[in-house]
Amino acid sequence: HGYAIQISYPYLCYLIENFEEITFTHEYLEEDRKKMTELLCQLIKAYDSNLANRRLIVMTALNRFLSILCNRYMIQKENTIIPNAIDLITNTMHYMSIHVFEVFNAKKTAEAMNVSYGYLSRKFKEVSGFSLGEYATRIRIQKAEAELLGNRHTISEISDICGFANVKSLEREFKKKHHCSPTKWKQEHSSYFMPNNG
């Protein structure tokens, strides 16, 4: 009887850095083809057995198979450009800052940067220390602070202007940062920016 081996996408992403950006050639050396076939046979035999350590044998054979595949036959997808991480994050931050008025969409941001969501999410966290969502909230709060001190809009209007889903969302995130409501924060800080009429 035949077998179909399915390797989960998250597992491949875990093992292979930038997996979203690569593919594999289909032209294999005969010696590698034989070796990979042997490893698959070992994997299947162990899977069908009752050995106590069959899981270990299966994973060892699978990882050796993937090692050959990745070391010799992995290529970058055509038309895929992986920019320098610092440049990518700088451009992403700029993009997010000029789209602060919109409800944040991480996948749309990745598309604008011409990279996969998984790659951007991982690199952004590595470089900035924030997740994409955390940084989006951070700049929305900064914008909300400026709007509050500007004294031109209501809290409801500010939540819309700064890309929050609703007033409750703005108040929740504001309390996380300042431990008080936007109204209370405005009352405490407006005096610092009042004009001095001498």
Instruction: For 100-154, write each residue's pLDDT tens digit.
Output: 778 788 999 998 988 888 888 988 888 888 899 999 988 889 888 888 888 788 8
pLDDT bracket for residue 80 (50, 70, 90):
low
Average pLDDT of every residue of the chain: 82
DSSP run (H or E) holding 54: helix 54-73
The rounded distance, in Å, linking the Cα atoms of 190 and 146 is: 11
What ranges do the domains of the chain cover? 9-76, 82-191
Q: Is the pLDDT of residue 1 over 60?
A: no
Q: Is the pLDDT of residue 166 over 70?
A: yes
DSSP state letter for 104? P
pLDDT bracket for residue 54 (50, 70, 90):
confident
The rounded distance, in Å, linking the Cα atoms of 93 and 128 is: 10
Q: 129 — alpha (psi -120 to 50), left (phi > 0) or beta?
A: left
Residue 22, phi then psi, degrees to nearest 5:
-125, 165
Percent of the chain with pLDDT over 70: 89
In the chain, DSSP assigns E strands to: 22-24, 74-76
Q: What number is the average pLDDT over the span 57-61?
A: 86
Give tens-digit pLDDT for 14-52.
777 777 677 777 778 888 889 988 988 888 888 888 888
Q: What number is the average pLDDT over the span 2-18?
A: 74
If we measure between CA atoms, which residue out of 69, 71, 61 comes closest to residue 33? 69
pLDDT bracket for residue 69 (50, 70, 90):
confident
Residue 29, phi then psi, degrees to nearest 5:
-65, 145
Superfamily of 82-191 according to CATH: Homeodomain-like (1.10.10.60)
Note whether 178 and 185 are within 8 A (CB).
yes
Q: Identify the pLDDT of residue 77.
A: 62
Percent of the chain with pLDDT over 90: 8
pLDDT bracket for residue 198 (50, 70, 90):
very low
Tokens of 151: 């004294």
Angle at which helix 85-98 crosses helix 132-150, to 10 degrees, equals 40
Q: What number is the average pLDDT over the span 79-89?
A: 68
Q: Which residue has the higher pLDDT, 30 or 190?
A: 30
Q: Identify the pLDDT of residue 194.
A: 47
